[in-house]
């Protein structure tokens, strides 16, 4: 079967896929959590799995809706292509600073958080998805904007700047135009932001999700693009931040996560200063007279744990409270689950959502 016929068949299947996902099955992949009602700002929980010999770390990451960086940084001693032993699934997230409305994107964290307006009588929830960010030399604007459009089967006229970049890299025949279809770098679904030429969209190279792959846009797994596209509407607010050090609260303890900073944003703050800035709102309670707010918790910090968390990428939030359980203690208490899912295969290496049955829930 030639490529043109294959593309036609895949595109004809696309409306059916959207119809199926619109019935509510899309949420089977995306990570969705109820927002904490106890003052906590952390959702999810880590898991441990032992993969069979068919799966790579990237297969495991995509199954659990993690990006390339999350699975590899969380498992620095595990071979990406032939993982053996126990693999940490870091599906625990510190939520971005409030307000929790619309979409919030943390560039350094390489993760999108969507806070939909809850239906009457329903608890507030957050949906979180991994993203690719801009490659070196490019950047996504920071600040507030909104969703201004949604596009199915977008075509892509390649900007002159990108054509020049490709030519300088020795690619002489890079197309000026990509028609709609599963081989389009814009993916099959694109959500347009108010920032000029910036979209949240799928990708024809899903194994790069979590890496630095774009020219300013934010890439999603194709299956995640379906989820977000069906849920989102024009007018939804979008806030783009860059916070390499994030601090959260759970069970009246402070937790910290640390992501390598993105150089294009130009800050000169060292990691310890970043941590001090992120911790400041929580530590103010320690110097305020208790009469001002007797219900406000007083947090204590083990600065040795802070230094440890800042010494390397710390994808899984780590407690920085004195005398609390260490991360090794937490993980040692977890059950180890077998992972024997079918690998995604070459047919999942384009902009179409993969056709794949699963026996293990990603959440």
Which tokens sit at 2?
């030639």
Contact 354, 23 (CB under 8 A): no
- The CATH topology of domain 13-353 is L,D-transpeptidase catalytic domain-like (2.40.440)
How high is the pLDDT of residue 292? 55
In angstroms, the CA 307 to CA 225 distance is 37
How high is the pLDDT of residue 22? 42
Query: Which residues have a catalytic role annotated?
Result: 201, 217
In DSSP notation, 275-328 reads HHHHHHHHHGGGTS-GGG-TTSPPP---HHHHHHHHTS-EEEEEE-STTPPPHH
Which among 231, 158, 207 is positioned nearest to 351, based on CA atoms?
207
Burial category of 187 from C-beta neighbours within 10 Å (exposed 0-12, middle 13-18, buried 19 and up): buried
How high is the pLDDT of residue 357? 63
How high is the pLDDT of residue 23? 38
Q: Tell me how far CA of residue 39 lies from CA of 98, 124, 179, 253, in angstroms.
A: 12, 13, 48, 11
Q: Tell me how far CA of residue 259 lies from CA of 97, 108, 180, 244, in angstroms.
A: 16, 6, 35, 5
**How large is the C-alpha radius of gyration of the chain?**
21
Q: Tell me how far CA of residue 184 lies from CA of 68, 169, 336, in angstroms.
A: 21, 20, 39
Q: Tell me how far CA of residue 326 lies from CA of 46, 282, 308, 333, in angstroms.
A: 14, 21, 11, 11
Per the DSSP assignment, residues forming a β-bridge with 125 are 34
How high is the pLDDT of residue 67? 96
How high is the pLDDT of residue 27? 37
Contact 87, 339 (CB under 8 A): yes
How high is the pLDDT of residue 165? 66
How high is the pLDDT of residue 180? 77
Render each residue's pLDDT in the chain as its tens digit; 363 residues: 333 333 333 444 444 444 444 434 333 468 999 999 888 999 999 999 999 989 999 999 999 999 999 999 999 999 999 999 999 999 999 999 999 999 999 999 999 999 999 988 899 999 999 999 988 888 899 999 999 999 999 887 776 666 666 666 666 677 776 777 788 888 899 999 999 989 999 998 999 999 998 888 999 999 999 999 999 999 999 999 999 999 999 998 999 999 999 888 877 788 899 999 999 988 865 555 555 555 567 788 999 999 999 999 999 999 999 988 888 999 999 999 999 999 998 888 888 998 776 666 665
């Amino acid at each position: 079967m030639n490529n043109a016929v294959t593309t036609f068949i895949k595109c004809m299947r696309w409306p059916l896929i959207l119809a199926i996902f619109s019935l509510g099955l899309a949420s089977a992949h995306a990570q969705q959590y109820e927002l904490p009602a106890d003052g906590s700002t952390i959702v999810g929980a880590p898991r441990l799995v032992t993969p069979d010999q068919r799966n790579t770390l990237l297969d495991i990451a995509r199954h659990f809706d993690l990006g390339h960086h999350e699975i590899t940084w969380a498992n620095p001693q595990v071979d990406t292509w032939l993982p053996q032993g126990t693999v940490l699934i870091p599906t625990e997230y510190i939520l971005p600073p409030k307000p929790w409305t619309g979409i919030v994107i943390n560039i350094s964290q390489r993760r999108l958080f969507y806070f939909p307006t809850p239906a009457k009588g329903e608890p507030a929830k957050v949906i979180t998805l991994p993203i690719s960010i801009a490659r070196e030399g490019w950047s996504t604007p920071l600040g507030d904007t909104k969703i201004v459009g949604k596009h199915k089967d977008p075509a892509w006229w390649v900007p002159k700047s990108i054509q020049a970049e490709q030519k300088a890299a020795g690619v002489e025949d890079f197309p000026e135009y990509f028609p709609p279809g599963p081989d389009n770098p814009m993916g099959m679904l694109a959500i347009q932001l108010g920032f000029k030429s910036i979209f949240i969209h799928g990708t024809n190279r899903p194994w790069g999700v979590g890496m630095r792959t774009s020219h300013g846009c934010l890439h999603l797994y194709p299956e995640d693009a379906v989820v977000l596209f069906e849920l989102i509407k024009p007018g939804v607010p979008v806030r783009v931040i860059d916070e390499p050090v994030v601090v959260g609260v759970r069970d009246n303890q402070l937790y910290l996560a640390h992501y390598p900073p993105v150089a294009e944003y130009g800050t000169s703050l060292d990691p310890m200063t970043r941590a001090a800035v992120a911790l400041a709102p929580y530590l103010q309670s320690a110097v305020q007279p208790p009469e001002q707010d007797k219900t406000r918790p007083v947090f204590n910090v083990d600065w040795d744990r802070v230094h440890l968390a800042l010494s390397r990428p710390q994808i899984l939030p780590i407690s920085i409270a004195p005398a609390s359980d260490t991360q090794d203690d937490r993980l040692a208490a977890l059950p180890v689950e077998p992972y024997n899912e079918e690998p995604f295969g070459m047919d999942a290496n384009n902009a179409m959502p993969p056709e794949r049955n699963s026996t293990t829930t990603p959440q």
